[in-house]
Structure 1
Amino acid sequence: MTRRVRRSRAAPAPAPAIALALVMGLALAGCGDDPEPGERANAPSEATRTAGPGDDVDAGDPVALDSRTVTTGLTSPWGLSATSQEAVLLSERDTGRILRVDPGSGERKELRALPDVVPGGEAGLLGLALTPDESALLAYYTVEESSRIVSMPWDGQSLGEPEVLLEGIPGGAGYHQGGALLVGPDDLLYVGTGDNGVPESAQDRGSLSGKVLRLTLDGQPAPGNPFDDEVYSYGHRNVQGLAFDDEGRLWASEFGANAWDELNLIEAGGDYGWPQVEGSGGGEGQTDPVVVWRTEDASPSGLAHWDGSLWMAALRGERLWEIPLGDGDAPVEQPVGHLAGELGRLRSVLALPGSDGLLLVTSNTDGRGEVRDGDDRALLLTR
């Protein structure tokens, strides 16, 4: 059954000519370079860690990662979801294809292409998530003027026809689409959305833009949500990564504008400040990020929890950030960067079942990267 949501009360989307100009400008500048007012960016607070290139892992450091190429020749890979059959389901943003990839052999198979995906800029086929019983695959993607979440039956070999679970997520501007999907330990679906180029919509709780949403697996608002609708937290600019740690805490990676990218610890009903503030130092009732990065060092997309750390894929920063989880009063330790400049733009990262390692995909064919021989690729990372 199609779930239709109310229209956003935020400002209307830009006219097509203006929207195209904005998208072209963003493509030239790269993520994290949007012309936002400087007063929105604050210096980090004492409680917020700051990371940068000086926190990269030195060559030969014993915590460095080993890597093996799994498959090459992908086109703008984005979403990742692991099966119990030691396979990974992978989405391609710009082609609308969903592939099955074997991390061991590198064998891959196209399962289906979604015909109504409308790519462009940051839009297209984005996040994937399997239901806990693996009976269905959920996907987040953009259509003409909005984004939606669909469910497709999955029998371990093939995907059935998509059924719309939630539609009316503002989209179609070509940037700040969000796209993260994650089924939590509570068997509820968590969704990261972007502000779709309308910053004020992130503070509008009547809009699905700039939010973390929490839904049942059939697309309904989850019981116990703080505002009795789909919204779980708000005040976000562009959430492309979500991860739970072993303590059941929800983390989100978030694109900043001119100054600070963020790692946030998500609490029900929390206001994370955008667009009043970028980075830390928000007003009363607003929650500061746990870690910030300069936008040239991160532009964060995918997020995963593995081996006692959070792992965040950085696009413009061209590195994989490891954020060790802390003990006591400090939720995290100082982040360290891996693979700096070795693979180009990094889009998504997935912890494989059984602590077997991380699957990482590059994003050099997304229109903003320098395409290298074999791009885009998936790699298996181990210690």
Structure 2
Amino acid sequence: MRFRRVRAVAATSGAVLALTAGCSFGPPGPDQAGSPPNLPRPSVAPTAAEGDAEREVALSVLAKDLEVPWGMAFLPDGGAVVTERDTARILKIGPESTAGGLKVTELRRLGEVTAGGDGGLLGVAVSPKFESDKTLFVYYTTAEDNRIAKIAGDGPVQPILTGIPRSEQHNGGALAFGPDGLLYVGTGDGTDGGGQAQDPKSLGGKILRITTAGRPAPGNPVRNSPVWSSGHRNVQGLAWDETKRMFATDRGQPRTAELNVVVKGKNYGWPKADGPATDPRYTDPLVSWPTDTSSCAGVATLESMVATACVLGRRLQLLNVTGNGTVLGSPQELLTDEFGRLRALAAAPDGSFWVATSNQEDAGQPGPEDDRILRLVFSDGGAGRS
């Protein structure tokens, strides 16, 4: 099942995408594309659904002329912090508007970052106490390793976890606070053979769970170890749904790319498994796709929907996931080949999705406005609700 394709649109214009039957979204509400108030409105209003056969998705471009945006996280004021992988810049997008979209402000540029391959300034997470501590957490590549650091206001960059394996590719980079208030880190195995993913003493090929001081979190599978799950290739997206179920993308396998439901202490098989495993010691992915149509990085959830942004696949993959964790129907596609490579994806506080293109990197084919941040509003998907 596919969503209809959409043409490229200007910075403050929009378009409406029609969904085929089988999705659980109702008719669009009257204010779904208008909150928060400073966000650009699509210039084309959603049209009425044709019976039960179609639903709409409204799209607008929030920012343009970026350079390989990688990580994205939201601030209490409704704006977002966005990292640029190769320039090592941390940007703030919005919530203020300009004539061309949302205001883009450079907050700082990190000097310790060594960009190259898929390494550089990667994930970003906003402290759950940001209103009082003004602290951001970042994942970045140096000449020696990948590391996690915290930045409080205008203060120095303070590394809290170092020694994550680095390589030309497969550096991981996912960073997000979970519903438990702890910091989760998606790493890459940092090798061609994947030996680190199965090594319990290595930080490579893992999802880590740490405190804001960078220490192993209480309740981890192994005492005094930051490892939450293992057997991963290259984790570049983390998200939780309303039931606190955790999803992670895993890309870089030769044959498949995966979306996993991550469970404490489980082993997801790399390099012994590329996609579903035959060995009962390993946990199968929720969904796996051929690498050339997926290679997904960012992941976000909205009610029963889980979406991933695909770099090589140049599309969004969307799934309806039931309460017991099974996929309802077939995965659907949106934006296929319309905006090029897609990487960062996040659910905004108003219920919309923000997705970033990744066309200014070596393998991309940038257009005149790339890279861009897009906003998607699904009919009756929650945008505009507080």
TM range (shorter): 0.7 to 0.9
Structure 1 position 197 matched with structure 2 position 214: no
Mapped contact 2:69–2:84 kept (Cα < 8 A)? yes
Which residue of the other structure, out of 173, 178, 182, is the alignment partner of 2:172? 178
Q: Are the equivalent residues in 1 in contact too, given 2:242–2:303 (CA < 8 A)? A: no
Higher RCO (CA 8 Å, separation ≥ 6 residues): 1
C-alpha separation between the residues in 1 aligned to 2:287 and 2:57? Answer: 22
What is the RMSD of the two structures over their aligned residues, measured on CA atoms? 1.4
Aligned to 1:57: 3
Q: Distance in 1 between matches of 2:311 and 2:190?
A: 19
Cα distance, 1:338–1:218 mapped onto 2, change above 3 Å: same
- The CA distance in 2 between the partners of 1:318 and 1:182, in whole Å, is 24
Q: How far, CA to CA, are the matches of 1:328 and 1:187 in structure 2?
A: 24
Cα shift at 1:366: 1.5
- For 2:152, the equivalent position in structure 1 comes to 153
State the Cα deviation string for residues 243-265 of structure 1 (Å, max 9, x = none). 01110111101114221111111
1:338-379 CA-partner distances (Å, limit 9, x unpaired): 010000000111111132x11110000111111111100111
5+ unaligned residues in a row in structure 2: which ranges? 6-17, 20-53, 379-386
In the other structure, the counterpart of 2:28 is none
Partner residue of 2:141?
142
Kindly provide the amino acid, as one letter, of the partner of residue 79 in structure 1.
G
What does residue range 282-361 of structure 1 map to in structure 2 within 5 Å?
282-328=278-324, 330=326, 333-355=329-351, 357-361=352-356
Q: Deviations over 1:307-357 (max 9, x none)?
A: 4311100001000111112144625542111010000000111111132x1
Give the secondary structure class of the aligned counterpart of 1:268: coil
| 1:117 matched to 2:63 | no
Q: Distance in 1 between matches of 2:219 and 2:177?
A: 16
What residue in structure 1 maps to residue 364 of structure 2?
Answer: 369
1:164-313 matches, cutoff 5 A: 164-171=159-166, 173-198=167-192, 199-228=194-223, 229-313=225-309
What secondary structure, in the 3-state scheme, does the structure 2 residue paired with 1:354 have? coil
Equivalent pair of 1:210/1:235 in contact (CA under 8 Å)? yes
Counterpart CA distance in 2 for 1:299 and 1:126 is 17
User: Which structure carries more helix by proportion?
Assistant: 1
User: Cα deviations across residues 247-291 of structure 1 (Å, max 9, x unaligned)?
Assistant: 011110111422111111111110100001100024122100010
Distance 1:174 1:220 in 2: 27
- 1:256/1:278 contact within 8 Å kept: no
For 1:195 and 1:63, the matched residues in 2 are separated by: 41
1:91 aligned partner? 83
8 Å contact 2:171–2:189 — kept in the other structure? yes
The TM-score normalised by the length of structure 1 is: 0.82
Match of 1:79 in 2: 71
1:40-68 CA distances to partner (integer Å, 9 max, x unpaired)?
Answer: xxxxxxxxxxxxxxx32235333452211
Q: Match of 1:107, SS? A: strand
Q: State the secondary structure of the residue aligned to 1:67.
A: strand
Identical columns (%): 39
4+ residue runs over 6 A deviation: none
Relative to the length of structure 2, the TM-score reads 0.81
CA–CA separation in structure 2 for the residues paired with 1:190 and 1:272? 17
Task: Render the CA deviation track for 1:1-57: whole Å, top value 9, x for unaligned.
Answer: xxxxxxxxxxxxxxxxxxxxxxxxxxxxxxxxxxxxxxxxxxxxxxxxxxxxxx322
- Structure 1, unmatched stretches of 5+, are 1-54
Match of 2:373 among 338, 358, 378: 378
